Amino acid sequence: MWFDNHCHLTTLDQDAASIVEAAGAAGVTRLLTVGCTVADSAAAIAVAGRFPNVWATAGVHPHDAKDGLDGLVDLLALQEVVAVGECGLDYHYDHSPRAKQADVFARQIDLAHDHDLALVIHTREAWDDTFEILDRHGTPPRTVFHCFTGGPEEAAAALARGAYISYSGIVTFKTADDLRAAAAVTPLDRILVETDSPYLAPVPHRGKPNQPANVAVVGRYLAELLAQPVEAFAAVTTANASALFGLD
């Protein structure tokens, strides 16, 4: 049984009920729908409230850091919320000024500490600054680098800070050799799987809208890559995600 620890049910075209049903049919029994703005986080929480096996995050993505955090704190106390984020730095697009990204990221790290919540990190082309801000504010005990796109060196740096590493469909792409090398050095008790749906559909579904059911495709690919029995790998990644987000 799989746990899609990062999807965006608020941005998928289908009704959430049909998505959750299709995921269950594929053996995906737990889902985390992730907020990217305060409004999107509120919508994610509303979706999660409809299902006993779906939880939500509340956070502000670096793309939207320019809009600030007003209203976010009020969402963190809601029972559906198990993490702050996704938050971090994205220097590929720079949709928000880098100084504003850094400030909003740092403030969300502090919120994760203050509310004893997990932290979901998005980082792209910003590894050094991401680690510097984490070190300055303290990496929360339950932190994940979602949709990890680094190599073994970045994986080692994340693991040294006690973080989990979550792999998406990118790991199945032909050009993702560095990412596969990172997965090979990630301990089994620190590895997670996700879809980041509706984005980044894995091979052989690349180019199509992604959905949580495809986390089983990502998981089976990684299990083979790491020479792990599929059922055992599903169990350990689900247990890791459940521990990260404080779920039974």
Q: How far apart are the first and last CA of the chain?
A: 15
Q: What is the DSSP letter of 169?
A: G
What token pair was written down for 65?
Answer: 């850091």
Domain total for the chain? 1
pLDDT, mean of each 10-residue run, the chain (248 residues): 97 92 98 98 98 98 98 98 98 97 98 98 98 98 98 98 98 98 98 98 95 98 98 98 96
What is residue 12's predicted lDDT score, i.e. its pLDDT? Answer: 85
Phi then psi for residue 82, to 5 deg, are: -120, 0
What is the maximum alpha-carbon separation in the chain? 46
Cβ–Cβ under 8 Å, residues 248 and 9: no
What is residue 73's predicted lDDT score, i.e. its pLDDT? Answer: 98
Instruction: Kindly provide the residue ranges of all beta strands, DSSP E only, lying in 81-126, ordered along the sequence.
Output: 81-90, 118-124
What is residue 248's predicted lDDT score, i.e. its pLDDT? Answer: 84
Please name the helix (run of DSSP H) or strand (run of DSSP E) that holds residue 183, with its range, or none. Answer: helix 177-184
* Side chain identity, residue 123: T
What is residue 13's predicted lDDT score, i.e. its pLDDT? Answer: 79
Domain that holds residue 214: 2-244
What is residue 49's predicted lDDT score, i.e. its pLDDT? Answer: 97
What is residue 194's predicted lDDT score, i.e. its pLDDT? Answer: 98
**Sheet architecture: strand order including 143-145:** 2-7, 28-33, 54-58, 81-90, 118-124, 143-145, 164-167, 191-193
What is residue 91's predicted lDDT score, i.e. its pLDDT? Answer: 97
What CATH number does residue 107 fall under? 3.20.20.140
What is residue 87's predicted lDDT score, i.e. its pLDDT? Answer: 98
